[in-house]
């Protein structure tokens, strides 16, 4: 018998890590389902009926490969955003686009800057291409643009990542602060501005798009506000040379055809988006109420989730989390201290949040008695 395949030294060195354990995986491990799926910041309000209809109609055309240029979607996005379609790259979710971006820019030993405890899937891609991750701490539960830029300058970073609004904390900076960050990006560094949750943020959160600015690439998605996490449609907005570079390595026929059709329909249904935004605002308030009823504070949120401060350290919050999971409530929490004193609860409809409200007092009591 031969020795089998030889992995690259880099691949050999990587752990078989999973940035997140999916809820279905947890359900199989537990042997029974969750009663409230509040851990992955999915939109429990679902996609628009118009999206469901568009996807159902497109199902019969699934014998065709998706359009390799995602032309109709890019035309619609260009119109929606007021930028030329050559500034837009559609890809397999922000996760997929982040993978392509890291592959384009990060080689073995290249430095990349992010916040300690920020989006782990980005870090996974950086590690996966041999990059060296350098982190700065959060500041008052916000990502810290000044510290990120200073560190990027110090280590000559290829990329510096920030999510605005932030995941996992839900906090945000206003457009002026973010524009100042863009203006401070060092030569040779690219700012990755992840705006996955932007549609839940107040007006004035996103800096104006300057499509030719080579210092920043922005990532947005249909997974969150548009309720299409399972469709895998994200998009990047950036200067043409960078957007064009994706064509060198992307999976040209990687987009599912039904997903393309669904995203076009979603973008056209801004009334439904407004309904979701209103429901999210109500649900954020409800989560804050539930927390307060249990003597806990919440962080302000510009996203579809709320960080609840469990009032002690990370070990205590991890106990609360596992007690909630034991009570069939799927939630997650920040990975790094001191943000890991919180648990992160996605908004849901009243029934989901009632289930959470019912479980939380017992979960807290059990965590305190452990």
| Contact positions with a second copy (CB under 8 A) in 250-269 | 251-259, 262
Query: Which C-beta is closer to a second copy: that of 225 or that of 360?
Result: 225
Angle, helix 175-183 to helix 145-155, in steps of 10 degrees: 10
**Using the rule CB under 8 A, is 44 a contact of a second copy?**
yes
Closest contact distance (angstroms) between CB of 42 and a second copy is: 5
- Report 152-171 residues binding a second copy (CB under 8 A): 158-159
**Using the rule CB under 8 A, is 40 a contact of a second copy?**
yes
- The stretch near a second copy (CB under 8 A) out of 65-73, 161-169, 277-285, 307-315 is 65-73
Query: Which C-beta is closer to a second copy: that of 217 or that of 264?
Result: 217
Tokens for 258, please give them. Answer: 């039904």
Tokens for 167, please give them. Answer: 């995941």
The end-to-end CA distance of the chain, in Å, is 52
Applying CB under 8 A, among 17, 86, 274, 292 the residue interacting with a second copy is 17
Of 89, 96, 64, which is closest to residue 74 (Cα–Cα)?
A: 89
**Using the rule CB under 8 A, is 26 a contact of a second copy?**
no
**Using the rule CB under 8 A, is 209 a contact of a second copy?**
no
Tally Cβ neighbours within 10 Å of residue 253. 10
- The stretch near a second copy (CB under 8 A) out of 162-170, 213-221, 322-330, 357-365 is 213-221
Residues 6 or more apart in contact with residue 358 via CB below 8 angstroms: none
**Using the rule CB under 8 A, is 231 a contact of a second copy?**
yes
Applying CB under 8 A, among 35, 83, 103, 175 the residue interacting with a second copy is 103
Q: Compose the 262-301 pattern: x for residues touching a second copy by CB under 8 A, - for all others.
A: x---------------------------------------
> How far, in Å, CA of 60 to CA of 304, rounded?
33
**How many chain residues touch a second copy (CB under 8 A)?**
95
Considering Cα of 99, then 22, then 67, then 73, what sign does the dihedral take? negative
∠ CA 337-40-143 to the nearest 5 degrees? 40
Query: Which C-beta is closer to a second copy: that of 14 or that of 150?
Result: 14
Tokens for 23, please give them. Answer: 């809820």
Strands 36-37, 329-330: pairing kind: parallel
Applying CB under 8 A, among 62, 139, 202, 293 the residue interacting with a second copy is 62
Closest contact distance (angstroms) between CB of 52 and a second copy is: 5
**Using the rule CB under 8 A, is 144 a contact of a second copy?**
no
**Using the rule CB under 8 A, is 84 a contact of a second copy?**
no
**Using the rule CB under 8 A, is 311 a contact of a second copy?**
no
**Using the rule CB under 8 A, is 229 a contact of a second copy?**
yes
Alpha helix positions (H), 82-210: 93-105, 120-128, 145-155, 175-183
> How far, in Å, CA of 39 to CA of 27, rounded?
13
Of 124, 113, 117, which is closest to residue 191 (Cα–Cα)?
A: 113
Q: Show the beta-strand stretches assigned E in the chain.
A: 36-37, 88-91, 111-115, 132-136, 159-163, 190-194, 216-221, 234-237, 297-298, 305-309, 329-330, 342-346
Query: Which C-beta is closer to a second copy: that of 237 or that of 364?
Result: 237
- The stretch near a second copy (CB under 8 A) out of 172-180, 221-229, 278-286, 317-325 is 221-229
**Using the rule CB under 8 A, is 46 a contact of a second copy?**
yes
- The stretch near a second copy (CB under 8 A) out of 93-101, 160-168, 293-301, 336-344 is 93-101
């Amino acid at each position: 018998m031969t020795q089998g395949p030889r992995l690259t030294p880099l691949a050999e060195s990587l752990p078989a890590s999973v940035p997140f354990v999916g809820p279905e995986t947890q359900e199989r491990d537990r042997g029974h389902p969750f009663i409230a799926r509040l851990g992955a910041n999915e939109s429990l309000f679902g996609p628009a009926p118009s999206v469901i209809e568009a996807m159902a109609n497109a199902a019969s055309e699934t014998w065709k490969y998706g359009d390799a240029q995602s032309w109709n979607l890019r035309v619609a996005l260009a119109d929606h955003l007021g930028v030329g379609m050559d500034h837009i790259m559609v890809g397999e979710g922000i996760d997929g686009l982040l993978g392509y971006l890291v592959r384009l820019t990060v080689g073995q030993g290249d430095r990349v800057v992010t916040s300690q405890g920020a989006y782990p899937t980005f870090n996974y891609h950086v590690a996966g291409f041999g990059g060296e991750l350098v982190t700065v701490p959060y500041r008052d539960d916000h990502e810290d643009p000044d510290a990120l830029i200073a560190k990027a300058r110090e280590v000559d970073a290829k990329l510096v990542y920030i999510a605005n609004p932030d995941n996992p904390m839900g906090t945000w900076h206003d457009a002026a602060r973010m524009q100042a960050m863009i203006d401070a990006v060092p030569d040779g560094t690219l700012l990755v501005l992840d705006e996955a949750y932007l549609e839940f943020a107040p007006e004035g959160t996103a800096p104006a798009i300057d499509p030719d600015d080579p210092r920043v690439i922005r990532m947005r998605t249909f997974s969150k506000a548009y309720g299409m996490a399972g469709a895998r449609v994200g998009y990047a907005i950036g200067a043409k040379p960078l957007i064009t570079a994706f064509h060198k390595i992307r999976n040209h026929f990687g987009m599912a055809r039904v997903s393309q059709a669904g995203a076009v329909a979603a973008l056209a249904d801004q009334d439904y988006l407004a309904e979701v935004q209103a429901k999210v605002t109500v649900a954020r308030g409800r989560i804050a109420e539930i927390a307060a009823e249990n003597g806990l504070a919440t962080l302000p949120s510009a996203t579809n989730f709320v960080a609840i401060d469990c009032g002690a350290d990370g070990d205590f919050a991890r106990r609360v989390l596992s007690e909630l999971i034991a009570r069939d409530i799927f939630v997650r929490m920040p990975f790094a201290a001191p943000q890991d004193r919180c648990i992160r609860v996605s908004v849901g409809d009243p029934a989901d949040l009632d289930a959470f409200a019912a479980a939380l007092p017992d979960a807290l009591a059990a965590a305190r008695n452990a």
